[in-house]
Chains A and B, each alone.
Chain A
């Protein structure tokens, strides 16, 4: 026998960034055109893995929000609401196709701007966004079939505020059902990740949508507040933190605005001793380290039946050791950059608290780049339900492991949270699956899988994780008077 091949390491495999087109400065997208601000109030969108400035973004003024809402109102009362559902759908189909055609450009920009691995933006974010548009396009002329005995009507102008963790995907989740149901839109992307929403606005232009059907205003929280509080907005759709969700619900209490909120979570991922253990390990990894854990439905509380705890943790650590952390643009990267310095500080603070609370701490020994914001996949074992890590939405790659002995015990612990967005259950026994999935107080329950999304599948939370659903037939009613 010949050579020994110790330490076969992957060579860099960077995705090319040469074919994308980014402007140096973006105005706001109102009434079908990009308007450069006359106030010069701009901020930078930064690549979190290098600190490099990608583009200047407009901090929208309240006048610009007014203009955007007015354009949306004019489009709603004008062409868009008079158009037949079939024609409306065709615009959305066209948009879905354009996004597929330019999928590579969108994936690259998404990873540059947000820090998520190119593998995820290429294989998950962009194709799912296009699929979402394609799915809802088809509903536009079939709405009466979705609501028996009803004649659904659009609400009017929808103000939509989206987070930084899935910038393009959340834009599609918001825009697609709103337009399919005949509403018009004012969209505000998160300040750290505005680029793909602005690129989507370019596609909306290219698709030939009537002016004002979709408007994009950029900026910080005050721009979102201006949309929420605008008198001529009929509907508020928000994805983000529970804290802000509560503020929005309170702010519109005196109005007739309709509202859907998709907020935080602290999902239990429960592994029984009869589970397919290697697939469970994979599900745990996908559940918490997907998108650096910047996922509201992340399986951040792992419950392991005591009899398999040691074996499972050994397997989990082994698998964590194969995760590649680093340059989001490298096709082999599994865990990319933390979205911002602020978020990294929050995560590191939680990790510090965790160490102080005395749980056992583990991170694989992987190299991290010198510049940018990074966090190794992190594991805390010996966690108690009363630890802060087990209660609060960390929004990072930090997993807290607790053990349990019986079904009743784990049901109680899993539901012992103000949140109720998602849950995971791993067992090979059918009747146990149905018991567990029906007992979980959560809007999405993944049984023997985790973190899957599909345009046909309604997504949204119980309790303080918000209300309303996005996706599927159930996602339509959020934008209709029925």
Chain B
């Protein structure tokens, strides 16, 4: 069944989808007001991976994004920077230079993103290129076709190989949950990725619908929690795609807090993969400061 090394038996707890949806809905009933909201909105900003992953990406687009990452909204004092800028491997060097000194990480997708349909050699070369250009973080995709065939050892080995190729860079493993078909499979893929050495698990490429949802994220958070309870080791979580509103992002943070605890409320352990979320958060912060509801035209789009 597997072509490389030891056969592992992968089994994950069953997931009841209706129960997960109910639990996820419960987080959205939390009311986040005043000080908690201010603190939460700041956290959301600091956890954003500002992302551009388009075929038509240019140096100009990447430069603009890097500028935005460091100057979210200069008319508001004391805003944090975003956590990272996420680009294709060929823009890593540029992003690295543009963000020099800012503390903002550069993340790069790799491994034949977004489909992952290529040979291991090419995927590893992809990773090595991004790493050598200075990527702090690598966002890989798992081989969903092999996963659906039941080649769990293949999927595991591939993640482990990519992890080895990452060196000092942190590895985010994209499950592409929208292609997995059920929450049971999401849980299994999460467990495989964590066991294979992923530093983060991530929902989606952003190219497939549905992308991140609260139920999917909850299942992945529970996998992280179970791993932590068994081993004491922390793994990060990154929902990506579909989170564009501040209120929803705050509910994600409630979910992280109640599932994993306050230790995960840190850009080191939790990220939002999003492009338009930052502006909505900024509008909410401005509203809190001024008392007036904001309009999109007062916030720069990059």
Contacts and interface: CB of A to CB of B under 8 A. Distances in A.
Interface of A: 1-13, 119, 123, 274-279, 282-283, 314, 318, 322, 331-332, 428, 448-449
Interface of B: 13-16, 18-20, 22-23, 29-37, 39-40, 42-43, 46, 80-81, 83, 103, 105, 222, 225, 229, 253, 257-258, 262-263, 265-268
Contact of A277 (B13, B18, B83): B13
A11 B37 contact: yes
A276 B32 contact: no
Given A8-B253, A10-B32, A2 B16 contact: no
The CB with the most chain A CB atoms within 10 A, among B20, B23, B225, B267, is that of B23
A279 B20 contact: yes
A10 B19 contact: no
Contact of B31 (A4, A331, A428): A331
Contact of B268 (A1, A9, A283, A314): A1
Nearest to B265: A5
Nearest to A9: B36
Given A3-B46, A11-B34, A278-B15, 10 more contacts: A3-B42, A3-B80, A5-B43, A6-B265, A8-B40, A8-B43, A10-B30, A279-B15, A448-B16, A448-B18
Given A2-B46, A3-B80, A5-B266, A11 B19 contact: no
B158 to A, nearest CB: 28
A279 B262 contact: no
A332 B30 CA distance: 5
Nearest to A426: B16
The CB with the most chain A CB atoms within 10 A, among B14, B20, B81, B265, is that of B14
B29 A119 contact: yes
A9 B32 CA distance: 9
Given A5-B266, A275-B14, A277-B13, A283 B19 contact: yes
A448 B39 contact: no
A428 B14 contact: yes
Contacts of A318: 225
A278 B257 CA distance: 16
B103 A2 contact: yes
A1 B84 CA distance: 9
A279 B16 CA distance: 7
Nearest to A427: B14
Nearest to B82: A2
A5 B38 CA distance: 12
A314 B228 CA distance: 12
B263 to A, nearest CB: 8
Contact of B81 (A2, A6, A119, A314): A2
Given A1-B268, A279-B20, A332-B30, A8 B262 contact: yes
Contact of B33 (A3, A13, A274): A13
The CB with the most chain B CB atoms within 10 A, among A12, A279, A283, A331, is that of A279
